[in-house]
Structure 1
Amino acid sequence: MKKDTKLVNAGRQAKWTKGVVNPPVFRASTVVFDSVAQMKEASVKRQQQELFYGRRGTPTTFAFADAMNEIEGGVGCYVYPCGTAAITSAILAFVKAGDHLLMVDSAYEPTRDFCTQTLSQFGVEVTFYDPMIGRDIKNLIQDNTKVVFVESPGSITMEVQDVPGICEVAHAQNPDITVILDNTWASPLHFQPFDYGVDVSVQAATKYVSGHSDIMLGTATANEKSWPVLREKSYLLGQCASPDDITLAMRGIRTLGVRLKQHEKNSLKIAKWLATRAEVETVLHPTLPSCPGHEYFKRDFVGGNGLFSFVLKKSNNQALTAFLDGMSHFKMGFSWGGFESLVLAYSGLNKARAESAFGYTTPVIRLHIGLEDIDDLIDDLERGFARLNSNL
């Protein structure tokens, strides 16, 4: 099936829908059995999408996991209460005390904090690496390296990594290394992780999969090698998600393709407009040559979305505050991937890096371009630049 057809049909097997269009919302904690034999049979099949206990999942969970597998190309999918839970559980599934993890230096802030504040307490050694390192990552792999974590594009600074190169080198050095990718930016549609050597792909389904800024959800899909470990360790960590949230995410899947097309169209127009502005030093949009790793984006991705950043040429606290305050359509807020436009400003990004300099010292503005009319969004930004300039 072509991807748009797959989005409509994914997870809608008759065993889940029971003859209706959408899989029903199936809530359960305790699953009851009529005989010892029935309970024993369920116990044997508890890892095979069979009802056993609510935390193992219900048909609502199983239908959504099947849909994510079909779209992203995995063998198995585990569902978590948020994207950070998916990231931390995926990492914990494959490391133990004494192991070594390679973490990309441009990672999502909570991922970075988990490494420095939690993994260190568990005796796991973490080395941060330059997101543009590519195949040279082989020089950082140690005998005890168990996980290589990639995030492409990177949070805020948007570097696109050479994911297939990193995977090939890591697995050549040690076939037991697990490569985990935060694939949230691309969504399940625009980068197919398992075609490029990734072992586990994480999604903050809170974002584009849901698309409406009203739920928290995470997923991790895995290849055949990694799925049994990911599944059982995630279960032992107590991870599970609400069937009501899962149902909303399943609804989001149906419109994911058309939403992403509009997000991408709007964001590219605004990115090109920003590139003409005198106030802008550079635009960090993966589809543009000005973004680090653009060549990998052209090679590996099949589309973009609404999230990108740009660097201001000059600013001060008063001017930056004036730019942000008074926006009509761009609201300040964390997360992204909903239908609405968002704006956030970041300063001092070089201080957050361990091994790789960002290259700019002036503030970075991250935009999420929503589904509003493009002219209204440009007018909003233009008025913001006027406020910025009048306060410099």
Structure 2
Amino acid sequence: MKAALLVIVVAHGLLHVAGFLKAFHLAPLNQLALPVTKVNGMLWLAAAMLFIAAVLLRYLEHDYWWMAGVVAIVLSQYLILTAWDDAKYGTVANVVILFACVAAFGQWRFSRTYHHDVALARVQNISAQAGVLTERDMLHLPDLVKKYLRYTGAVGKPKVQAFTVAFTGQFRQHETSAWMPFHSEQHNFMSSPTRLFFMQATMKQVPVAGFHRFENGHASMDIRLLSLFRVEYQSGRQMDVSETVTFFNDMCVMAPATLIDGRIRWGKPEGNEVEATFTHGDVTVSAKLYFNDRGELINFISNDRYALRDDGTLQRTPWSTPLKEYREINGYRLGTRAETIYHYADGDFCYGKFNLMHAAYE
């Protein structure tokens, strides 16, 4: 989709050069019947340059590329109207490019809210010095969890106040739904538990964006078509509980060093599993953590998360995130492939597949 858009914009932009060539008699263009003034010739060239600039900015993934695109479209359409008989079909290309610009504008505006929240959370949650995680910090942990922290390389590194992770993967809404490719970025902050997750996906070739916000004990989920049109929104007590589970899962899976947190209460291990609770405000959630003999966390199962049902209601449903393929990322040995699964009475439903691409810690 990205490549096709770039080709369309480049081709459309280069066609505008014909108006410049016609105006200054630089090339025989008999197919253009209408005369072109030198002023308009310069405008045709300016439009071409603006389209090429938009392409370069888009290729470089600059957030503001759509601005150059919109100016180019306005100028182009004005020129097309002045030479309608020769250039009217350029309107089709302008409409296609305008659609892409509108989608990019929506994404820019929607993601700006996310980035603003991240910046504010960082100011509120990051202190100057956190210290180094030592064996002494782990004295209260079950042996299974100690082994996991040693295996992941958390011991001897700075204690984690915040972490940032990026994923690629696939989502789907129902068992029969097509998988939607996505990429995401999220920021988690520990002092006052905060999780800010921004996802961009493609549904039937149409861009979809989602912003999950969890801060001050409250959660919301905002899904938008083209980042403009809200198609789903959830908030309330059940979302608060669900996102508390997700936050605890993030700690266990992506930031093992945070498992020394005093808000976690550990049960007695049974074989290679241990139960734990995490409390934030008036919400306490529990989960069972499963490890293999190497010390890797291989599953996280909680009965406290809610699933969105077909009728739009939220229902408490067992939820798990099996992990595999541990490898080193930024000095930590982490599980890099995971699934998110709801365990319904009539069968399991895997709705998400995640590939961990990046992790950074503060």
TM-based fold match above 0.5:
no
TM-score (norm 2): 0.29
Bigger radius of gyration among the two: 2
Which structure is higher in strand share? 2
TM-score (norm 1): 0.27
